[in-house]
Structure 1
């Protein structure tokens, strides 16, 4: 894939997001304009690449390598989350292992999402759209029932169609990042807008964990369950009534015990005593 000045589309928008995250702020216009070319050239200069303003394989590889170093969770992130919520770090490690869905980002640098067509149906209906007409035209995007999932990068294809109907409602109707926090929670979690929430989700897994911490802190029942290590109650509140089918509570309990053992000092031997 090669991108250069004059190109347009979602790949250009993704490039612009990557440049911004790499420290070269670029407006997300979907157009490879002069500002984007200038940012690409500045990035290439910083990386010691040929400075031509054209995004080829070497420039793309340099971007992805930089993101791999900066976007993943660190021990400091986990420790800060445990301190903020007032729980043992073993509890946060357990939740991170079981409840986060693996990597928070796709290989192309975009945050993992899952678009929920039934949520989009409700958000559009509240905005006064003729949702039944839209459901007839876009059954995989607008529907009173859940489903239509395509998974991984293909979820962005669904999101792009939804964005053309109503961008804010579309972003509110997807779950984002490693911990799959729904976009419509943005206000309750004290983000300034859904656009602010999405921008944070595009930045790092540390931001994904921060959204999770805000989500738990805003729900007293979930926070109490986590503090007491009542894994069934926590799993039901976080995953819904189907939690038992996937053994989330059992997995959390086992993970917590394993991490707690790792952080508990060994008892002294008789000889040492």
Structure 2
């Protein structure tokens, strides 16, 4: 399940980047690990559930129904069924999610999954590279579910998938190879990347892994 140094080296060569470049990405995106121990002590893939994407990707008829039920509940116009109450309960937990510990991320994701599995999987980022589920086609997967199942198998699959994404993201590999961390950060994390110092973190991580041939 844990990716080995040899596998990292092989993937870096395959995709034409240096190992320190790859190591920097993995450290900054997910602290160098694609899994965590859940509340039962079992390994579980790391995620970040994004409520704003879930709202966008949820089919319109479901979204409309939720808003109508919410309005009726707030105004006391109708007595909701247990199924309707559960729907609104799941919706509230899902859409209030912020960047949080993994247990909270998974709680929000599971509530979203109960409403619409595909939209939920597309609306979360997964594993070592924290690749969003809606990017599954760029990685060569037919669906977000197919991508998630592959990523659940091992960190190797997560890193390989992330590299396929980087390879297909216009301008990304050129920015990485030229060590243009500002451009890398913008392409990977959006125009607000500087607010979190993402480019600085990448640059520092790259220097750390490059220094004295340190690659662990």
TM > 0.5 fold call = yes
Equivalence map 1:232-243=2 (5 Å): 232-243=182-193
1:75 to partner: Cα distance: 1.0
Distance of aligned partners of 1:198 and 1:192 in 2 relative to their CA distance in 1, 3 Å threshold: same
Deviation at 1:189, TM superposition (A): 1.5
Counterpart Cα distance in 1 of 2:32 and 2:144: 24
Structure 1 vs Structure 2 CA RMSD: 2.1
The answer on 1:214 being equivalent to 2:144 is: no
Where in structure 2 are the equivalents of 1:177-216 lying within 5 Å?
Answer: 177-216=127-166
Report the TM-score when normalising by structure 2.
Answer: 0.78
More helix by share: 2
Mind listing any 5+ residue stretches in structure 2 that lack a counterpart? Answer: 71-87
Given candidates 120, 125, 133, the residue that maps to 2:54 is: 120
Aligned residues: 189
CA radius of gyration, larger in = 1
Which residue in 2 is equivalent to 1:29? none
Q: TM-score, normalised by structure 1?
A: 0.63
Out of 85, 90, 98, which is 2:28 matched to?
98
Taking the aligned partners of 1:248 and 1:150, their CA distance within structure 2 comes to 18
> CA–CA distance in 2 between the matches of 1:257 and 1:158?
36
Report the CA distance between 1:200 and its aligned residue: 1.1
Distance 1:230 1:239, change over 3 A: same
Does the residue aligned with 2:48 lie in a helix, a strand or coil? strand
Partner secondary structure for residue 197 of structure 1: helix
Q: Which residue of 2 aligns with 1:30?
A: none
Q: CA deviation at 1:149?
A: 4.7
User: Deviations 1:86-128 (Å, cap 9, x if unpaired)?
Assistant: 112221122222233342112121101121111111111xx33
